[in-house]
Amino acid sequence: MKILLTGATGYIGKRLLPILVAQGHEIICCVRDKNRFYAPKEFLKSIKVIEVDFLKKETLTAIPNDIDAAYYLIHSMSGSDNNYDELEKISAENFVYSIDKTAAKQVIYLSGIVNDKSLSKHLSSRKKVEDVLHNGNFAITTLRAGIIVGSGSASFEIIRDLVNKLPIMITPKWLNTKCQPIAISDVLEFLSKSLLNPVTYGKSFDIGGPDILTYKEMLLGFAKAKKLKRWIYTVPIMTPKLSSYWLYFVTSTSYKLASALVSSMKVEVICKDNKINKLLRVKPMSYEQALSRALIKVDEDKVASSWKDSLVSGRFNSNISEFLKVPKKDCFIDRRKKSIENKEHTLEKIWSIGGETGWYYGDWLWNFRGFIDQLFGGVGSRRGRTNKHDIHSGDALDFWRVLYANKEEGKLVLYAEMKLPGEAWLEFKIINNTLYQSATFKPKGIWGKLYWYAVLPFHGFIFQGMLNKLIK
């Protein structure tokens, strides 16, 4: 079967793709920027990548007419636009417009549980998208999930950050709100088993694990899994804004995502029934089992996808291709080079840079710069990286975004997502056993120029020290 997969570079899409390939389907991957898409070489014979932006009708002609079904995995609860709910509605309308021109029999939509009359902006937007999709000339299957637990999921990362960093927590009262978490592997099983399955046509299902827990119980459950002693006290005085700042400064989440989460976490998300479990013969695992699996993946450095790699985790809102060519005109450039003796060793160190590994020299300065960025509402350096030794275009890397990563070519290009009075690139490339390292800054106005000269004294030992360590 020919399946259209939207959100192919997202957290769910990246994990669903190998399952669909293994089932023998031909997959049409919809992405806004091909430069951000990565798939193993063995997948290439089963997939086709097309550039489609559902906010731009002129791009929809790239969608083939002979598809059999489609997955709608597009949503954003933390984009740079405050009217993201209106943008989501437009995307859904354009999706219906394009799919109605195809032979698609079914569309599968992953939404959120909406069993409360007072919905958050995020959950209300999901429900509006579902209503729009029902207008199409195809069978719609809606799977409504609450908190998704898996390595790299936003929920898992926030829980992990809170428990690891805070032995004692003074928390908002919404931590007593009940929810029904579900393991990412169970979500993927529901998504794959619903495909072209007539028993799911035209229906909506709530999907969740067997446990109904408060967020406080989820935090304590994580602490137990990690064998950590933690004390949590809830207070009624934290406003939504204070709660959002609390999450923002303690965890790796962005402020906009924190705000959206706080709004959603005040609403109970519990499944109305579990009839889909019997229909598709799925037995969801417990929260404890889901945590155990996620922790194993993290420990083994086998995180398949992470919410941090989505563009909404930072301030990057353009196609990577627009920034691939590092400018030279009107730029300040710090260029350095050094001969290398062992190319493979240096490549491994470059491909492991950032995150837990650090920057090889002056890490406290890198961390301090990240802290300053966070104080001004930037991404800071809390995102780390998804994998310790593997990196691809589009990945988040501390306060950088990976623009280009080609290990065979020996070239890595990063773009700064921190708040700056200008734009910055950091580039590594190996040519004829020589490592070239360059930091490029394109200032905006007088403040940009003053910023460059203010940090210039630190460049001499930070960048030179890093270069020396990379070849040592």
pTM confidence score: 0.87
Return d(Cα 461, Cα 459) in angstroms, integer.
6
Number of domains in the chain: 2
Return d(Cα 28, Cα 20) in angstroms, integer.
11
177 in a structural domain:
yes
pLDDT at 210: 96
Return d(Cα 353, Cα 437) in angstroms, integer.
13
313 in a structural domain:
no
Q: Which among 308, 337, 359 is the end of a domain? A: 308
Return d(Cα 67, Cα 105) in angstroms, integer.
9
Burial environment of residue 425 by CB neighbours within 10 A (0 to 12, 13 to 18, 19 or more): buried
336 in a structural domain:
yes
pLDDT at 78: 47
Residues 174 and 66 in one domain: yes
318 in a structural domain:
no
Residue 379: Cβ within 10 Å count: 27
* CATH number of the domain residue 58 falls in: 3.40.50.720
- Position 316, amino acid: F
Return d(Cα 437, Cα 412) in angstroms, integer.
10
pLDDT at 229: 94
Residues 27 and 145 in one domain: yes
Residues 296 and 341 in one domain: no
Q: Which among 256, 282, 308 is the end of a domain? A: 308
pLDDT at 315: 61
pLDDT at 237: 73
Q: What is the CA radius of gyration of the chain?
A: 23
Residues 371 and 421 in one domain: yes
300 in a structural domain:
yes
317 in a structural domain:
no
pLDDT at 314: 62
pLDDT at 201: 95
Residues 273 and 210 in one domain: yes
Domain of residue 121: give its range: 2-308
286 in a structural domain:
yes
Return d(Cα 9, Cα 17) in angstroms, integer.
10
Report residues of the chain scoring pLDDT below 50.
Answer: 78-80
Residues 88 and 228 in one domain: yes
Residues 330 and 291 in one domain: no
Residues 273 and 358 in one domain: no
315 in a structural domain:
no
Give residue for tokens 């229906």: 203
Residues 176 and 111 in one domain: yes
Return d(Cα 353, Cα 138) in angstroms, integer.
47
